[in-house]
A and B are shown apart, each in its own frame.
Chain A
Amino acid sequence: MSGTFLGIGDYAVSNEADSVLKTYLGSCVAVILLDPITRTVGMVHIALPDSSLDPSKKELLPGYFADSGIAVLFNKMKEYGFSEKSHKLIVKLVGGASVMSQCDVFNIGLRNVEAAKSILKSMGLHISSEDVGEKYSRSVAIEVDTGKVTVSSPGRGQWDI
């Protein structure tokens, strides 16, 4: 089985049955799109909620921000055969951990989750399952063949969502 690792701000789409998409997340958020008809999987690793924070970076690395990242991933899914007219995507959301503090300035995890949810809603995409927030980091792996999304956290085991 071949694995594709997504770093911060990366996105990838695959329809190769033997491949796995992986990433790890602190306050970052992974938006996962699954197309059950074309058996295509896409994921984007979002670090910040809004590309207005650094417009030049948006051009180079659209996946870094929730607004540009979700849009670019959605378009990529279309290139792989997804059609809005025929069916709906399965959407999953993982990550967005909080720092152990009440400090709002540092609560980027929550902002990322809120931004991702708001953008998905505006695009008419319904989140079917999520594992977000809390105060621990996560790794996420998606099997393209089965669409199984497995989340793990160091010292806390692993679970499917």
Chain B
Amino acid sequence: MNKKLVNKEIMIAIKSAPLLSPSVYDIIRKIAEPDHSLADVVKIVKHDSALTARLLRVVNSAAFATLDPVNSVDRAISLLGERMVVGLAISESTGNLFHKPLEGYDGKKGDLWSHDLIVAYATRKIAGLAKINIDPELAFTGGLLHDIGKAIISDFLKGTAEELLQSIDKGHVDDYASAEKNFLGVNHQAVGYELAMNWNLPESIQQMILHHHSPAESDDEFKPYVYAVHLGDIISMMSGFGTGTDIMQYNLDQGYEEYFNLKFESIASVMLEIKDKCKRVIGVEDCM
């Protein structure tokens, strides 16, 4: 394989990926600001009629059944919560990116989105267990976007699963990300990072995407967030929610202990959170 040529093709795929709509971009930027309020998010949503319609459709669906129909954006967002708005906005504006089958990982349609949502909820729960103050909504958004590189790189990994797993089993590489890099010259975190830069996402989210399997390498300023996503990802995979062949093929970095005082009971509580959110909020039928 000509890695240079493949890298060039991957860069073209990144440039060809759907761009975030202006309102989604604004919501993500706003959430990354430490002093933002729910009213700021409401204001942005109100200027996007397609997103407004989508939120009202979801909040009036069976999953969120209320006694009276919800007709206002303000009430819809207060019922759904900021994090659901972010999730729906990203899902709505990125076309098929989160929803296509990940053939390079033997992952079926919907696996990436389900995994990302579960990691987002797990990461948010973990943020609440930090020794220092972490914004749970920013952690949630980082969890939601952490694996976006797989949507691009998957097309270039078709038919490689067995070979990549063998390279880990035989000890040639440490984990699946290293196996990807060995094979293609680049891994899904780096591809996701390129896409995040292309989308002009906040640096905090770029760091969560780039370093979620190597949190020690992230900038000190963002380490608590990156470790939160790292742990959310690991615990989601332990609960059986991955994206295919790479599930549980990543190392746990124990550097998290500097930022999180996790005991067995706290990990169990994150797993219970995953169970709670699975069907009711995420709509994964296989969960219950």
Residues of A within 8 A of B161 (CB): 154-155
Decide if A7 touches B106 in the complex (CB within 8 Å). Answer: no
Q: Which of B254, B264, B275, B288 contacts A101 (CB 8 A)?
A: B254
Decide if A7 touches B251 in the complex (CB within 8 Å). Answer: no
Residues of A within 8 A of B165 (CB): 155-156
Decide if A26 touches B248 in the complex (CB within 8 Å). Answer: yes
Stretch of B6-14, B32-40, B121-129, B238-246 on the interface side:
B238-246
With an 8 A cutoff between CB atoms, is B50 at the interface? no
With an 8 A cutoff between CB atoms, is B201 at the interface? no
How far does the Cβ of B240 sit from chain A's closest Cβ, in whole Å? 4
Complex CA distance for A103 and B162, rounded to whole angstroms: 27
Complex CA distance for A108 and B286, rounded to whole angstroms: 22
Q: Which of A26, A48, A61, A100 contacts B240 (CB 8 A)?
A: A26
Decide if B267 touches A105 in the complex (CB within 8 Å). Answer: yes
Number of A-B contacts (CB under 8 A): 106
Q: Which residue of B lies closest to A47 (CB)?
A: B271
Complex CA distance for A103 and B288, rounded to whole angstroms: 29
The number of chain B residues with a CB under 8 A from chain A is 40
- B247-260 vs A, Cβ < 8 Å mask (1 yes, 0 no): 11111101000000
How far does the Cβ of A57 sit from chain B's closest Cβ, in whole Å? 6
Decide if B239 touches A8 in the complex (CB within 8 Å). Answer: yes
Complex CA distance for A121 and B124, rounded to whole angstroms: 39
With an 8 A cutoff between CB atoms, is B263 at the interface? yes
With an 8 A cutoff between CB atoms, is A16 at the interface? no
With an 8 A cutoff between CB atoms, is B287 at the interface? yes
Residues of A with Cβ closer than 8 Å to B? Answer: 5, 7-10, 24-28, 47-48, 53-54, 57, 61, 64, 97, 99-101, 103, 105-106, 108-109, 111, 135-137, 154-156
Residues of B with Cβ closer than 8 Å to A? Answer: 105-106, 161-162, 164-165, 175, 234, 237-242, 244-245, 247-252, 254, 262-265, 267-269, 271-272, 274-275, 278-279, 285-288
Q: Across chains A and B, which 10 residue pairs bring their CB atoms closest together, nearest first?
A: A101-B252, A155-B161, A155-B245, A27-B238, A154-B245, A26-B240, A7-B287, A7-B288, A26-B238, A137-B247
